[in-house]
Amino acid sequence: MKWNAELYDQKHAFVFQYGENVLELLNAQPGEHILDLGCGTGYLTQQLHDLGAIVKGTDSSAEMIRQAKANYPDVDFAVEDATKFKATEKYDAVFSNAVLHWIKNADAMMDCVYKSLKPGGRFVAEMGGKGNVQHLIAATKQVLEQHGYHRQAKSEIWYFPSLGEYTSKLEAHGFRVSFAAHFDRKTPLQDGDQGVAKWITMFAPLYLVGVPEHEKQQMLQEVTALLEPHYNEGGQWYADYKRLRFIAVKES
């Protein structure tokens, strides 16, 4: 999937703004070596840098990393795959916000994270949890089926696990899960009834691969109409986010 880093910063800043709460959970200390896994355009990486941490931001998207380097030239950024990376220097903490649900091979990622941490190091993250944007997914698949795009309707873009499922995986990889929560957090969409189309275009373009432009716009309008009873609250539209947040510690 190719990311539009500039659009991400302009129209979807809520991703990293909500992530500031996760930084509080991380409680980074000056001098700690921290990896920001899936750093996007680098906003939260810079926040960690400002707290005095020795931080590195990585992302699989070269476009995101280019934007991050342009935004924050004093911070260390690199293109790395979260399921294949090897740390040359062990970290005190690995931090991740709104990324892990994109990583379907969670086992490979957890193995890399575990090996990259010092004993006693912590893995602190927030991601989409079970039921995240379930109304949006259902409406999009319904419209795709109605228009005959059966292959696209079967696309599974994200991995939204339950709390028990994900914490069990972490434990199987040697972590002790010291905190975990699965909670609702309705998230405002910008631009009113245009917000749904913009969200899908940014985060779920795989649903629309191969759909002609004129039909794509019609389908996005139909998805929006299906979602209006669930998403429109007096003119402000909200997406049905459900988040999973955890702290996992490498004990040895």
Q: Are 184 and 132 in contact (CB under 8 A)?
A: no
Dihedral of CA 112/114/118/122: which sign?
Answer: positive
pLDDT of 100: 98
pLDDT of 40: 94
**DSSP letters along 9-60, please?**
HHH-THHHHHHHHHHHHHT--TT-EEEEET-TTSHHHHHHHHTT-EEEEEES
| pLDDT grade for 19, boundaries at 50, 70 and 90 | low
Q: What's the order of all strands across the beta sheet hosting 242-250? A: 76-79, 54-59, 33-37, 91-97, 117-128, 242-250, 175-184
pLDDT of 252: 78
Domain span at 165: 5-250
pLDDT of 127: 96
Structural domains of the chain, count: 1
User: Residue 96 belongs to a domain with what CATH number?
Assistant: 3.40.50.150
Higher confidence at residue 18 or residue 199? 199
pLDDT exceeds cutoff 50 at 10: no
Map tokens 């994109």 to a residue.
102
Give the mean model confidence (pLDDT) for residues 108-121: 98
Q: Which two tokens stand for residue 196?
A: 């749904």
pLDDT of 190: 87
**DSSP letters along 47-114, please?**
HHHHTT-EEEEEES-HHHHHHHHHH-TTSEEEE--TTT---SS-EEEEEEES-GGG-S-HHHHHHHHH
CA 77 to chain centre: 18
When the pLDDT of each residue in the chain is averaged and rounded to a whole number, the result is: 92
Which pTM value belongs to this model?
Answer: 0.90
Cα radius of gyration rounded to whole Å, the chain: 19
Question: What confidence tens digit (pLDDT) does each residue in 175-219 have?
Answer: 999 999 999 999 999 888 999 999 999 999 999 999 999 999 999
Q: How far apart are CA 90 and CA 35, in angstroms?
A: 10
Give the mean model confidence (pLDDT) for residues 70-78: 97
Question: What confidence tens digit (pLDDT) does each residue in 104-114 have?
Answer: 999 999 999 99
